[in-house]
Amino acid sequence: MVSLSRNLILAFLCVLLGFVCFSNAQLSDNFYGTSCRNLQTIVRNVMIQAVNREARLGASILRLFFHDCFVNGCDASILLDDTSTFTGEKNANPNRNSARGYEVIDTIKAQVEAACPNVVSCADILALAARQGTVLLGGPSWAVPLGRRDARTASQSAANTQIPAPSSSLSTLLSMFSAKGLNARDMTALSGSHTIGQARCTTFRNRIYNDTNIDTQFAATRRAGCPASGGDANLAPLDIQSPNRFDNDYYQNLVVRRGLLHSDQELFNGGSQDALVRSYSNNVASFRSDFAAAMVKMGNISPLTGTNGEIRTNCRAIN
């Protein structure tokens, strides 16, 4: 009774004060140790095939996980398709025409269902796939706490307002990450995920044509593939040196004003994160360690556990 009362008081305080509360007590690194022993192997094998086919998919899956966790927690809501009676998050501004890798999650889910029917959530599959994609591109590994369940709802409006935009200022980034329980160090480390992957011209056009804190040669290079108008879907690497290798080049680029997105360069622009960016640019081990810790922390944002949510049989649709 005492424990129950304490939990009710904490829940009430969280609602009253508007805090993001972490209910990860029921998450466990070995949650499926007996109920789905082949889970990790299935995820690893499918991700190996996907990344071998297209290296960019490692970054795409990592981004899916980030965009999922920032909207009502890590609950696989981003995977739900729109229907005539349901509006999901796939067509929210941060996701429309850019979020990708859904078919990889579908493949993993199908194989997991064949091995362990109605046991493993899509939310946990996405968390594991994001870790595996990072590792396959040379990034760090981390123990993924498991036991999340899948949402029966989604929020396009929350996706439109709670996922940081590429035009965000440093103060906006700090505020938006803080709202999810992530501090400034977490934010700067997680931004290092931009050491892999590509961005569309529409997300960096304003920076390469209008920002002044940008290396002129870098801007000229990017303008060649991103005209002042048109070509919105043209791609450029977020990390010009090694877009398919998880390293600390991203931070080295920021130090010499070669961040592709406005929000990237905001991390090194005479503000509070300059020293940390410089530290990561010189110490890849420190970045890798902080990134792994921040990924665990992000993965613990408001998971559905116990009897909340459901275990979807198809990640694209509510049961």
- Distance CA(188)–CA(173), nearest Å, equals 9
- 243 appears as a binding residue in the annotation: no
Q: Is the dihedral of CA 230, 232, 235, 240 positive or negative?
A: positive
- Distance CA(250)–CA(260), nearest Å, equals 9
- 230 appears as a binding residue in the annotation: no
Q: How far from 204 is each of 160, 230, 256, CA to CA, in Å?
A: 18, 13, 17
Q: Is the dihedral of CA 165, 281, 236, 60 positive or negative?
A: negative
- 73 appears as a binding residue in the annotation: yes
- 262 appears as a binding residue in the annotation: no
- 232 appears as a binding residue in the annotation: no
- 94 appears as a binding residue in the annotation: no
178 Cβ contact list (under 8 Å, min separation 6): none
- 89 appears as a binding residue in the annotation: yes
- Distance CA(265)–CA(190), nearest Å, equals 14
- 172 appears as a binding residue in the annotation: no
**Dihedral of the alpha carbons of 54, 87, 164, 306, in degrees to the nearest 10:** -90
- The b/e string for 78-103 (b: 16+ C-beta within 10 A; e otherwise) is bbbeeeeeeebbbebebbeebbbbbe
- 54 appears as a binding residue in the annotation: no
- 120 appears as a binding residue in the annotation: no
Reference 127, options 57, 194, 65, 39; nearest CA is: 65
Q: Annotated active-site positions, please? A: 67
Where is 287: in which H helix or E strand?
helix 284-299
Q: How far from 177 is each of 145, 197, 301, CA to CA, in Å?
A: 20, 21, 11
- 239 appears as a binding residue in the annotation: yes
Residue 236 phi/psi, 5° resolution? -140, 150
- The b/e string for 201-218 (b: 16+ C-beta within 10 A; e otherwise) is bebbbebbeeeeebeeeb
Reference 261, options 155, 138, 153, 172; nearest CA is: 172
Binding residues for Ca(2+): 68, 71, 73, 75, 77, 89, 195, 239, 247
Binding residues for substrate: 164
Binding residues: 68, 71, 73, 75, 77, 89, 164, 194-195, 239, 247
